Amino acid sequence: MATLQKKGFLIPRLLAAFFIFVIYPHQLKAKIQFEKNILPILERSCLKCHGGKKVNGEVDFSKIKNQNDADAQYELWEAVVEVINAGEMPPEESPQLKEKEKAMLLNWHQDQLNSPVESIPGTFKPRRLSGPEYRNTLRSLFGFDLKVAVAKAQQTVAGEESLVLKLLPKDPPGASGFINDTHTASLSPIILEQYAFLTDAAIEKLFAPKQRSQLQYLMGENLPNEWRPEKISQNEARSLIKNFIPKALRRHISESKINISLNPLNKLTGFELLNALKFEMKAIMLSPEFLYRGLLMEKFPGEQKPVDAFELAERVSYFLWEDRPDNELMNLASNGSLLEPEILTAQVERMLKEPQAMNLAESFGVQWFGIANLDELIKNPISHHSLRNQPVLFLNHLFTKDRPVIDLIDSKTTFVNEGVSGFYGQDRGRMKRHSKPKGIERTTTPFQEFTLEKATWRGGIITMPGILTMNRGPIQRGTWLLRQILGVRLGEPPADVPPIKPSPRGKNLSFRERFERHRSDASCARCHEKIDPLGFALDHYDTKGQFIQNKGKLPDASGKLPTGETFKDYSELKEILLSSQKEKIVRNSVERTLSYAMCRKLTRNDQPTVNRITKIIVKENGTWKDLFVEIVNSLPFRETIFKEEIQG
């Protein structure tokens, strides 16, 4: 059933603990084993709806066959315990759990929560460059972009200008929820064909007259003004290959491997040499070693080892920049000093000051908070530009200006242009005005960093106009806040949810009052007890994100959290988020960032790292830079495990 993915408690954990320790104390005497005690229960009562060909709620117990599999699905078991406690699972038509079996499941889950977990890095898996990573890698390698030839009017916002992103299929989010999690993304013939086309385009452009300076940089030589590509010499061609291969493959390459590309050039001249050179460059760029990360890393089958310096350079560069390592990182990797924590920390600080760090907000931030949903929702290009870019600039400010992690929720700093200035009341008068070009009725205007004074209803990402517009209505807003800010895992609503009924004849009920009648189903109420208070707290903002002021009676924005805390509106809810919910918000931020940095879904063995970093950030009111430094120096980031069958 889809309800298995929903979360929320009808029976407090205290009652569950009483059930285990008082009613069935004899279950505590022996350690419960998953394969021996839990797996048979799942096979008897759960596989009918959650296994094999029939997989309801995206939960497939048939794939969980041992303790390791169970550990990899550690998030699932809290939902399992909740629906069993609530009496929702198994469904009536399936074999029911005996009280002894319920106690065993609950006891096993409690053991899982309380048992110490060893911090173990993930197993190495080859991972193809995502579309944005490939685009950025190509650009930084060659020194120019491949762009779509399009003309745009000044009053419009351009579509996709990158030829790379225009041609390559969009990467679907992996198990982590991020598109850089490409472990299971295959290299199809269609994608390979597009790579070949893009490679040819990049190489041809490199030899064009306008790119002479970049060609000289890659070649390591100055060329005379009258030089033409067909006049390339053996020395120039060989120099280009020697410099190009280590840059393309992002690490030191042995002379013997470079000679594989050099040998076909021997004794060739003129166009024959030029064409052979282009072919060898293309072969490098279509090789798995270029298209995938980590394939050239030194491997120790069956062992847990620190990654080498070049792999570490790749990891930190694609994490913070979504791009290949630059010369400074490569030099530090070459002499091994990048492996020193102090040097790596200094590099994080340097990299966050570079323009490429904007990719952290434009990729990680946009994916985390679902900001790209505005692309389909807002059709007006001027409004789209304003509403979409404001939260990205704010996130870039947090990430690169050493701001506290909790500033995500409350910050006096924001970014405004004329497209969003109307959302800020009297503060609008202090904003810088921009004159429109002659003959242009409407156009996009640049953003400015701005300090809020009177617009106390703004501040932080939750109340940004684009975020509120993207989440129209209390249910969407509450769900978004739970998932993206607090890190609560919620399942999708059942497909057969009836529409909300209109007010009865003669009554003028608010949406909130009508919804109270609608959510009477117990299985729905469990989730809505969490969602509704948060969503209705934002009811003083209309569907366009505008704060409602002096317009008659305001909607009821009060609420009570499942923890018992009450508030009268969002401003009071924000105080709760900044106090009792602060650790939960920081933990979610740590988990999201670590998962993005590692390009994979976190496992139970990552929890010690998450716990340690969360504790540091909460205790010291740590900044985003502190968080990034902790992650790049953490065990999951700096070490890996190689499968036995992987050979060097």
Q: Is the pLDDT of residue 87 over 90?
A: no
pLDDT band at 173 (very low <50, low <70, confident <90, very high): very high
Bond from prior residue into 555 cis (ω within 30 degrees of 0):
no
Alpha carbon separation from 88 to 3, 39, 80, 85 (Å, rounded): 8, 20, 10, 8
One domain for residues 108 and 231: no
CA-CA-CA-CA dihedral for 467, 470, 476, 480, to nearest 10: -40
One domain for residues 411 and 437: yes
Burial class (CB in 10 A: 0-12, 13-18, 19+), 419: buried
Model pLDDT for residues 391-421, shown as the tens digit of each residue = 999 999 999 999 999 999 999 999 999 999 9
Model pLDDT for residues 471-482, shown as the tens digit of each residue = 988 999 999 999
Q: Is 583 part of a structural domain of the chain?
A: no
One domain for residues 70 and 216: no
Distance CA 559, CA 575 (A): 13
Last residue of a domain, one of 250, 272, 293: 293
Domain carrying residue 62:
2-114
Q: Is 513 part of a structural domain of the chain?
A: yes
Last residue of a domain, one of 293, 310, 341: 293
Kindly state the percentage of the chain with pLDDT values over 90: 64
Q: Is the pLDDT of residue 8 over 70?
A: no
Q: Residue 381: what residue type?
A: P
Rounded to 5°, angle at Cα 270 from 268 and 272: 55
One domain for residues 432 and 571: yes
Which residue has tokens 């999951």? 636
Distance CA 312, CA 297 (A): 10
Distance CA 416, CA 598 (A): 33
Nearest to 296 by CA among 250, 258, 235, 332: 250
Structural domain count of the chain: 3
Q: 76-80, 273-277, 494-498 — which one is most confidently predicted on average?
A: 273-277
Model pLDDT for residues 616-636, shown as the tens digit of each residue = 999 999 999 999 999 999 999
Structure tokens that stand for 574 in this block: 């924000």
One domain for residues 408 and 432: yes
One domain for residues 495 and 543: yes
Q: Is 303 part of a structural domain of the chain?
A: no
One domain for residues 369 and 286: no
Phi and psi torsions of 152, nearest 5°:
-135, 145
Asked if 210 contacts 229 with a C-beta cutoff of 8 angstroms, the reply is no
Beta strand pairing call for 639-641 and 54-55: unpaired
Read off the pLDDT of each residue in 520-539 and give the average, rounded to a whole number.
78
Read off the pLDDT of each residue in 520-538 and give the average, rounded to a whole number.
77
Q: Is 195 part of a structural domain of the chain?
A: yes
Last residue of a domain, one of 268, 293, 318: 293
Q: Is the pLDDT of residue 292 over 80?
A: yes
Model pLDDT for residues 559-608, shown as the tens digit of each residue = 999 889 999 999 999 999 999 999 999 999 999 999 999 999 999 899 99
CA-CA-CA-CA dihedral for 78, 82, 84, 90, to nearest 10: -80
Q: How many residues does the chain have?
A: 648
Structure tokens that stand for 514 in this block: 């009508």
Q: Is 380 part of a structural domain of the chain?
A: yes
Read off the pLDDT of each residue in 425-441 and give the average, rounded to a whole number.
78
Q: Is the pLDDT of residue 54 over 80?
A: no
**CB-based contacts of 131: which residues, under 8 Å, 6+ apart?**
164, 165, 168, 169, 170, 171, 179
Q: Is 393 part of a structural domain of the chain?
A: yes
Q: Is 336 part of a structural domain of the chain?
A: no
One domain for residues 133 and 31: no
Distance CA 104, CA 19 (A): 11
Distance CA 84, CA 88 (A): 6
Q: Catalogue the E-assigned strands of 542-626.
A: 559-560, 566-567
Q: Is 625 part of a structural domain of the chain?
A: no
One domain for residues 229 and 368: no
One domain for residues 102 and 245: no
Q: 106-110, 184-188, 219-223 — which one is most confidently predicted on average?
A: 219-223
CA-CA-CA-CA dihedral for 582, 583, 586, 588, to nearest 10: -110
One domain for residues 451 and 528: yes
Distance CA 44, CA 60 (A): 14
One domain for residues 276 and 369: no
pLDDT band at 14 (very low <50, low <70, confident <90, very high): very low
Query: Helix H segments across 143-188?
Result: 163-167
**CB-based contacts of 367: which residues, under 8 Å, 6+ apart?**
173, 177, 178, 179, 596
